[in-house]
Amino acid sequence: MRRRIATSMVRARIDSVDLRRPDLRRPFPRHFVRRLTGQIVTTLDRRAKYLVATLSSGETLLMHLGMSGSFRVLREKRHQRKSGKAALDPHDHVVFHMSSGRAVVFNDPRRFGIMELVPAGKLDRHAVLRRLGPEPLSGGFDGAALARACHRKTTSLKAALMDQRVVAGLGNIYVSEALHIAGLSPRRRASTLATPSGAPRDAAHRLASAIKRVLEDAIARQSHSTYDDSRFLVYDREGERCSTPACAGTIRRRLQAGRSTFYCPVCQR
């Protein structure tokens, strides 16, 4: 998503902002439109599941898609901005009109998304961002880092991977997929990735590699927020034959912390 909108936003000025409702998961910040209008987006980064837009004012626009949020980019002409005749639907809640000639539209049917403005110099102290673990596609994330984070954790491996302090940005679907590729049960205790001294076991290296593979494949496919179940090995495949070669297992579903986990009880141990 960051890649999709970056070319329309980075180094462009926010000419105007249309707020089509007063809130998403929570109300928009005070003077949200005024604080954004006229600002240049100097960078657009991602941290975990947040989009991080640095503004020329020094403030940071922090955006989270929630469960159903997405962005799309529209080409528009000046008369469309004035007349409001851009092709919008009822779930288009925020429209950024950019000097690039593009409208960047945030759509969120369930309204679980978040947009907030972080004052200059305070991003590192943000309540959520400061507690995040390493980025899974960064050079700092590997089997050793994963083992250190899980050392002595008595929770399940599935729960540990969903903990953003262990690794940032993994969601329910890709945790199930990565565990399947690594051949590890979601019910397995997280501490088993490490030796008593905290050194990584082979399972930690396999899992770190599987996490990177799953995410890199998803990005390469340019996955949308609406998931195509045919792409997945185990997610939403309860009752189907396991796709692992020579495995005769059947995919099961179980609830863990209120979320559905899909796995093969035969080849995931």
**What string of H, E and C letters represents the secondary structure of 206-230?**
HHHHHHHHHHHHHHHCCCCCCCCHH
* Percent composition of the chain: helix, strand, coil (DSSP 3-state, to 5): 30, 25, 45
CATH, residue 214:
1.10.8.50
The answer to whether residue 138 is domain-embedded is: no
The answer to whether residue 7 is domain-embedded is: yes
User: d(Cα 167, Cα 177) in Å, to the nearest integer?
Assistant: 15
> What pTM value is reported for the model?
0.84
The count of domains in the chain is: 2
The answer to whether residue 9 is domain-embedded is: yes
| pLDDT of 255 higher than 70 | yes
Q: For 46-93, write each residue's pLDDT tens digit.
A: 999 999 999 999 999 999 999 899 999 999 876 566 555 567 899 999
pLDDT of residue 147: 98
The answer to whether residue 269 is domain-embedded is: no
Q: Domain of residue 47: give its range.
A: 2-131
User: d(Cα 170, Cα 152) in Å, to the nearest integer?
Assistant: 21
The answer to whether residue 136 is domain-embedded is: no
* Section 121-147 average pLDDT: 95
**Sheet with 14-19, edge to edge strand ranges:** 14-19, 92-98, 102-107, 70-75
Contact at 8 Å (CB) between 141 and 203? no
Among residues 86, 108, 131, which one ends one of the domains?
A: 131
Is there a single domain that holds both residue 27 and residue 81?
Answer: yes
Is there a single domain that holds both residue 20 and residue 102?
Answer: yes
CATH, residue 93:
3.20.190.10
Structure tokens at 27: 């109300």
pLDDT of residue 219: 87
Among all chains, which residue has been given the structure tokens 């409702």?
21
pLDDT of residue 221: 82
| pLDDT of 9 higher than 80 | yes
* Section 136-153 average pLDDT: 96
Q: Is 95 helix (H, G, I), strand (E, B) or coil?
A: strand
Cβ atoms within 10 Å of 230's Cβ, excluding its own: 7
pLDDT of residue 220: 86
pLDDT of residue 228: 57
